Amino acid sequence: MREIKIQIKTPDDDPNKFYNTVVKSDLCVSTGTTTTSIYGDMSQKDPLNSAMKKWFKGLMKKPRMNRYGFSRHSSNAFRLGDFEGILFIKDCPFALSRSGGKYRINGKTESIATISSALAKVLFKSCFTDDNAILMKALFSSLELPEDIKYALENRIPYHFYQDFEKQQVRLNVAQIDDKLFAIEIGDGIWGNINLKDLVSFCGFYIHGRENSKFKRVGLKRLYTMLMDKEPRESDVKMMKAFLMQNRTSDIVESKARELVAEMVNNFPTKLKVKYDSEGIPSEMYIKGIDYDWKLSANGSASGRQAVSTFVRQKKMVVSEDDGILDIHNMGEEKEKQFKEEWYWSGPICIDNMVGGSSLGDQFCTRALAVMNDNMTVSRVNTIKNYLKYKPNENERIELDEMS
């Protein structure tokens, strides 16, 4: 039996914090006990899940042989050739087998990608529970639908086409109408049917860019034909294009930003104040934390992970005289020095997102919630501590309306 102690890096920036669990199996090449650390893959939309999925895939996949008949094989990986046995996540057993390149889990044939994704979810769940019933339920829930289909149902499915030689990125509504049958909205109230296999292929190209998809760079007319099972009229294409232009990703992101921020302000009217630009997009947010006062500002960054800058209200000592503030380094000794306290917004503080592509509204809201509970956040985000030179007492805090 091989026992692998798993350390999964937590999302915060503390290098010493990990979630812990264990995987055991008699299918591994070696026996004994070892420890493995898993770090999030920041290039993926779900960094931790992608990294755990890749780890399980490495255990199960059939190794490639070189021209000398040898293969590099991890001691944690499953043995060569076909196999059949049990893998334990903590004490929860899962039956796994590989026969002729086909994989089965608990008697059900699935792709290695689907099995790896399901086990990844169970592995993460096992960091927080020892209940086998909960872990087995997590497996069944994950196996019911592929991960990409769940993403499409929850977030709309991405699609793009070209208008006047300019790429238009849009999001389409997806609904499940049967076990393996779905519908995509391509017009106002116009839904086209698509089966599970084809929807997986659609996601393969428009989410992951896989070139072997049958929907690779499919245009409006062809998409209409494939979903509606008939050729479109010219008027159908015009209506379809007009509908899709109203569902452009950039427009959806801006709308979501307004909705999220407005909801936050409604929920915390005594702790949050927001300013909007001329187009109604949030530009600044002021927050009363438990220990400090904070300011968030949209910086126009296109990087996706730091579109919002964070500042904390601090004070510094300056040298002043009646006609204004002077530079302490340029004052002669003959001048009388008078020190004065001055409050200012210290920053910007680097607070990075785990996942790229978050909307402006998402980043405003997540950072607002974090600094609203700054007594906990400060201890978890190391980059903040360097900016906290002074902790204001109760009399030095200002009212929300006075923040600017």
Residues 185 and 285 in one domain: no
Residues 104 and 199 in one domain: no
Which of 98, 113, 143 delimits the end of a domain?
143
- pLDDT of the residue at 126: 94
**pLDDT over threshold 60, residue 371:** yes
- pLDDT of the residue at 329: 47
pTM for the model stands at 0.52
Residues 237 and 278 in one domain: no
Residues 255 and 217 in one domain: no
Residues 67 and 158 in one domain: no
**pLDDT over threshold 90, residue 89:** yes
Residues 124 and 237 in one domain: no
Highest mean pLDDT (candidates 12-26, 274-288, 336-350): 12-26
Residues 19 and 88 in one domain: yes
Domain count of the chain? Answer: 3
The pLDDT tens digits for 132-187 are 999 998 888 778 778 788 888 777 888 888 877 778 888 888 887 776 788 888 88
Q: Give 73's pLDDT tier (boundaries 50, 70, 90).
A: low
Residues 239 and 319 in one domain: no
Residues 154 and 102 in one domain: no
Q: Give 68's pLDDT tier (boundaries 50, 70, 90).
A: low
**Among 34-43, 374-383, 384-393, which is the least confidently predicted range?**
374-383
Which of 96, 122, 143 delimits the end of a domain?
143
Residues 159 and 185 in one domain: yes
The pLDDT tens digits for 299-317 are 766 445 677 888 988 887 7
Chain position carrying tokens 């510094």: 316
Sign, CA torsion 137/143/145/146: positive
Residues 397 and 256 in one domain: yes
Residues 113 and 230 in one domain: no
Domain housing 124:
2-143
- pLDDT of the residue at 370: 82
Which of 247, 264, 286 delimits the end of a domain?
247
